[in-house]
Amino acid sequence: MTTDTAGRADEAPLFGPEPQFRPLLDDPRWALAMIRATVLEAAHPQIGAALVDNSTFVAHPWRRLRNTFLSMRRMFDPDPAVREREATRLNRLHARLSGSDARGRAYDALDRPTRAWVVATLFESAVTMCRLSGQPLDQDTMERMYAQYRAFLAALGGDAGELPEDVGDFWRYFDRVVEDELENTEAARVILYHLFDHLPAPALLDSAPTLWAAGRAVAGPLLGAITVASLPSPYRRRAGLPEMPGAPALMQGAYVAAGLARFLPAGWINAESIIDVLSLRPGDDDPRARTVTALRARMKRASALLRLLAPPGGDADPDPAPPAAPGEGRRSAEEFFRQVLDQTGDGHLDWPDLAAMARELSTRLDLDEPEETRLYDAFAAWWRELQAALDTDGDGRVSAEEYAAAVPSLAGPALIRVAEVLFDATDKDGSGTIDTDEYRTLFRTAFHRDLAATGGAYGRSAFVGDFLSFMTGRRTSAPYDPLLADA
């Protein structure tokens, strides 16, 4: 860190006495701006390739949203130790993401210019968000915000010098990257034309697939049109994105309407609470779960009414219904492959899918080294075991058909090792059992087992047995489904 901005990143508070972008986390306009920024990121060849190969944003978008929001909260925390720890965790995560795209071009998530582009899209989208909602930033505010974004890049371990020092020069940098480097990548197309149209329901709405599908059929195309209209026109031309009549007016109206939230009383909109509620399930010990249960009952009735009104033979319920009971039940090999094993949603099982599992578990448990590496190593050993047992055609990945033909062979020594390492990582105090607090950290819910019979703890053998039963696809599991199967 050699620049003045980078030097300020070591001071507390990181972003100055009046941070310009921390309040954006609870601003409804930020949801639209974040979608736009994500498309601009995905249009970069390196980022797009990394997303397609490694990200769970297609199969598990709500989980990805929750983890991203949690990470941003930590990076904006006033405590320097919290920020440093999160930056270190993110760097470890990105150090594991490298490879090559379909054209043989290498990508590396720690590439400094690429990381700078991610921060650049966030700043530019924040400025554009304010402009489109009729509240443009004055020059002084824009300059302060830009300095804080450069400090944010430095705090992440990047080089603030990768972004121009002056905000005026930034716009020339941004236009150059849009003109010369962005492409119509597969990841950008997925976000614009697949994700919105096929977005799975969050836990709150997964019992009402018809209602969710009906709402998604309306909201999906609208979000896509709004996002496309908000993108820089040079990129729209290069990528061949459609110019839909009325889309600019629709985009402007959406941003202005979202901007009206500034007139609501302070604290009425809290993004963290909204995300938490969307993740709740009936039976959770959170006090809001009772309200969620009542809402789900009403949604089921609304969904049933829509089915009655739907024309015969229509595809009004495209999503498979979840198990009738939230506890135990059996699932088909195809369901387990799609819901749990194929974390990236590409139709195959390979190392990025198991790496995504390790990443999610490490995030939930907030692991440091060396526990995080032990968990990744255990999943890597399981992948080698799966590949040897199931990859019959030798293409380096496992198809749904190959998996279904050899389900009984999954519970080998490597999977048992994964369960044991996960148990050790969860058992923070090394007591040999998982107590109620440790259980909540992993499963984000209370300990629902018979406390009188278990002595208020979850033993190693019981944990390993339950984990193996879940990971071999033999049965659904009320705690383990939210861990790895939820969208």
SS3 string, 319-378, reads CCCCCCCCCCECCCHHHHHHHHHCCCCCCEECHHHHHHHHHHHHHHHCCCCCHHHHHHHH
CATH 1.10.238.10: which residues of the chain? Answer: 333-484
Say yes or no to pLDDT of 27 above 90.
no
| pLDDT score for 304 | 67
| pLDDT score for 289 | 61
Give residue 450's identity as a one-letter amino acid code: D
Phi-psi map region of 455: left, alpha, beta (phi>0 left; psi -120 to 50 alpha): left
Question: In angstroms, rounded to a whole number, what is the distance separating the alpha carbons of residues 285 and 281?
Answer: 9
| pLDDT score for 178 | 97
Say yes or no to pLDDT of 16 above 60.
no
Say yes or no to pLDDT of 451 above 80.
no
Superfamily name and number for 333-484: EF-hand (1.10.238.10)
For residues 83 and 14, the answer to whether their CB atoms sit within 8 Å is yes
Phi-psi map region of 240: left, alpha, beta (phi>0 left; psi -120 to 50 alpha): left
Say yes or no to pLDDT of 112 above 80.
yes
Helix, strand, coil: what percent of the chain each, to 5?
A: 65, 5, 35
Judged by DSSP in three states, 98 sits in strand
How many residues are listed for the chain in this entry?
487
Question: In angstroms, rounded to a whole number, what is the distance separating the alpha carbons of residues 454 and 431?
Answer: 14
| pLDDT score for 156 | 86
End-to-end CA distance of the chain: 38
Please name which of 112, 56, 446, 134 lies closest in space to residue 289, comparing C-alpha atoms. 446
Of residues 125 and 211, the one with the higher pLDDT is 125
Spell out the residues 6+ positions from residue 356 whose beta carbon is closer than 8 angstroms to its own.
Answer: 54, 55, 56, 343, 344
Say yes or no to pLDDT of 448 above 60.
no
Model confidence over 52-110: pLDDT tens digits?
999 998 888 888 888 888 888 888 888 889 989 999 999 999 999 999 998 999 999 99
Spell out the residues 6+ positions from residue 435 whose beta carbon is closer than 8 angstroms to its own.
Answer: 429, 447, 456, 457, 458
Question: In angstroms, rounded to a whole number, what is the distance separating the alpha carbons of residues 427 and 108?
Answer: 34
Model confidence over 405-416: pLDDT tens digits?
876 556 789 999
Question: In angstroms, rounded to a whole number, what is the distance separating the alpha carbons of residues 234 and 288?
Answer: 46
| pLDDT score for 314 | 44
Model confidence over 294-321: pLDDT tens digits?
666 676 676 666 666 655 544 444 444 3
pLDDT, the chain, mean? 83
For residues 185 and 107, the answer to whether their CB atoms sit within 8 Å is no
| pLDDT score for 256 | 94
Judged by DSSP in three states, 285 sits in coil
Task: For residues 433-452, give the mean pLDDT.
Answer: 75
> 238-242, 264-268, 399-403, 430-434: which range is least confident on average?
264-268
Model confidence over 363-398: pLDDT tens digits?
999 999 999 999 999 999 999 999 998 898 999 999
